[in-house]
Structure 1
Amino acid sequence: MPRIGVIFDRDRAPEDLPAFAAAVEEAGADELWLVEDLGWTGGISSAALALAATSRITVGIGIAPAPLRNPALFAMEIANLARVHPGRIVAGIGHGVPEWMRQVGVEAKSKLAMLEETVLAVRGLLRGDEVILDGREVHIDGVRLVHPPTVQPPIVTGVVKPRSLELSGRIADGTIIAEGNGPAELAASLEHIRRGGAGDDHQLIVFTYLYVDDDASRIEKYTGELVAGQAAWLGKQPEELFSLIGAVGELPAKVRQLADAHVSTIVLRPLGPDPIAQVRTAIAALES
């Protein structure tokens, strides 16, 4: 059975996060994932709030844009959280949405180099190494953390395209796959990740929409627009997207499909007006 995570949606008010995190932990989830999108909220500060409000669950940042996050500062922040909450933080890093990166003047000339060099620098710093890196995008001259973490946090990447997936397989501890991708797409992504050199311990983390209901009109009301937008981004029809939207009885079989596709963690993105109720229903269905 894969681990079960839950996303705190970026549109929810930040002041709701501590109570949401505590409720997710109480419901039995293994992980809580936080979004860092330009103009919404910061992933590091959100992770600090969630960790302080809980005692058990892992908190993942999904994902920090590499061009926006200087690797030395990012490592310092992650190390701080990892020292206080050992074994409970996952550092997610990605290319960053190009339009957003241009808005703040940090778009990388080489997105692949930026991501690779950021991951390598952050990993070295978290290990306690003195990092010297004069790369195409990242430049660090002899920096070492005074307080590196005692438990090394996993570094995962949120990527989409083949070359980025191969890069993730080479440098990261895991890969985040976006909402809407099912077993067939996961198999194709995993092929690229393995081509990069990833072993069996590489985590495959899949975000997926969740809305449990038998009423088709409510399903359309609460999920239709979002699913359509994600389908357009993926170049698919809405009905082609894999999700956990529908009757509760369908959940166990769909989750088994993801487990058979070598998914390590299924991260639920609950939709509708009562996301915690959706999470509780889903976890109860999977445990029965």
Structure 2
Amino acid sequence: MSTRRADIGMCFHRTFAPSKVTEFARRLEEGGADQLWLIEDCFYTAGVSLAAAALTVTERLKVGIGILPAVARNPAITAMEIATLCGLAPGRVLPGIGHGVQSWMRQMGVRPASPLTALEEVLSAVNRLLAGEEVTVDGRYVRLDRVALDQPPVPPPPLLAGVRGPKSLAVAGRAAGGVVLAEPTSPSYVRAAVEQAGSPADFHVVAFSFLCVEADRATAYRRMAPWLATQLADPSPGLTVLPFFQDLHDLFTRDGVDALVTMPPDWWRELGPVGTFDDAVAHVEALEDAGVRSIGLFPEADVEIASAQLETVLRLAAR
């Protein structure tokens, strides 16, 4: 059985000016890329309004939101927003909902005592509303009384859970149609995450990966080593699941950030599309082999560098 080719897209960095989203969306569509992923982090730019702008200047491009914090909006409003986007561009919306960073939720006065319960209740309610149901629920965090959307999307989009840990992935498997895995997303992490979600059928896996393609590997590794060092300071499940994590951690602990530049190329290829263009292709194909359907490539935070990196995204989409 042949491996399914993933949709390739680019992430829109949270610090970019909102006015840039239409330019990036048009260039991605015209160049043959499949997706644009919009990052809603507090307190930067908002995902729904950026998505509306991107969708209305394109005809084919799929637009994903990674992610809407579950408790930042009432789930009825979240469902209304998603349904409206689907009405603007049927079949082109990939909405993601997650816990949100809990310190940000605390700043807004909405941090739940049980983020897992809150997420599952919100995912369930939004899914039912998008499916056209009239929803009455009296949960711990979600309370709705005979709420139904006037224009539910047909068919409803897959509702994706932006989560990381095993308990949250189990929630995703029960209550979502897929998952958005934050960078670094290796093939090892994808397989572990799907297993922790219970290996549900027709599960849409989205992988975010930090993009760094240079003419030679050493240059790419030097650019990425400081970023990897910050990740190792507080390792996420995406790192700890790596088969070589302990060796990587020991190398960094012993010799510091400079030692990361000397890591074996296969370690870097497992971590992300880092190195030469051929290395990036190898990473993408490994994610496809692991079952990933959508890949969002993260650019540099500098908008001019990101604009140049967009051409690499187009090359990967056309490979």
**TM-score for both structures, normalised by structure 1:** 0.92
Deviations 1:70-117 (A, max 9, x none): 101111111111112111111100011110000010001111111111
How far residue 265 of structure 1 moved from its aligned partner, in angstroms, is 1.2
* 2:234 is equivalent to residue 230 of structure 1: no
User: What letter matches 2:35 in structure 1?
Assistant: E
Contact 1:251/1:282, CA 8 A, preserved across alignment? no
Per-residue deviation, residues 208-228 of structure 1 (Å, max 9, x unmatched): 011211356753675444333
Does structure 1 conserve the Cα–Cα contact (< 8 Å) formed by 2:217 and 2:276? no
In structure 2, the residue matched to 1:214 is 215
Choose the corresponding residue for 2:277, options 245, 248, 255.
Answer: 248
SS of 1:25 mapped into structure 2:
helix
State percent identity of aligned pairs.
41
Q: For structure 1, which segment, 208-217 or 14-23, has the greater mean C-alpha deviation from structure 2 after superposition?
A: 208-217
| Unpaired segments ≥5 residues, structure 2 | 240-248, 250-259
What residue number does 2:66 align with?
62
Give 5+ residue unaligned stretches, structure 1.
none
**Maintained 8 Å contact 2:79/2:129:** yes
Matched, 1:192 2:196: yes
d(CA) in 1 for partners of 2:316, 2:106: 44
**Structure with more relative contact order (C-alpha pairs < 8 Å, separation 6 or more):** 2
1:140 alignment partner, SS class = strand
The SS at the match of 1:13 is: coil
Kept in 1: contact 2:8–2:317 (CA 8 A): no
Tell me which residue corresponds to 1:161.
165
Query: Is 1:279–2:310 an aligned residue pair?
Result: yes
Moved more, 29-38 or 182-191: 182-191
* Residues 22 and 4 (structure 1), Cα distance of their counterparts in 2 relative to 1, 3 Å cut: same
Q: Which of the residues 97, 103, 106 maps onto 1:102? A: 106
Relative distance call for 1:285 and 1:203 in structure 2 (3 A) is closer
Instruction: Tell me the distance in 2 between the aligned counterparts of 1:214 and 1:44.
Output: 37
AA in 1 matched with 2:198:
R
1:33: Cα distance to partner? 0.7
2:17 equivalent to 1:27: no
Aligned with 1:67: secondary structure?
coil
Aligned AA for 1:262? G
Q: Is the 8 A contact 2:273 2:281 kept in 1?
A: no
Task: Report whether the alignment pairs 1:37 with 2:41.
Answer: yes
1: distance between equivalents of 2:170 and 2:126? 19
Taking the aligned partners of 1:24 and 1:117, their CA distance within structure 2 comes to 35
Q: For 1:49 and 1:225, how far apart are their aligned partners in 2?
A: 34
Give RMSD over aligned pairs.
2.0
Determine the C-alpha separation between the residues in 1 that align with 2:28 and 2:229.
27
Task: Check if 1:268 corresponds to 2:297.
Answer: yes
CA distance in 2, matches of 1:128, 1:110: 28
Retained in 2: the 8 A contact 1:27–1:279?
no
Contact 2:38–2:47 (Cα < 8 Å) also in 1: yes
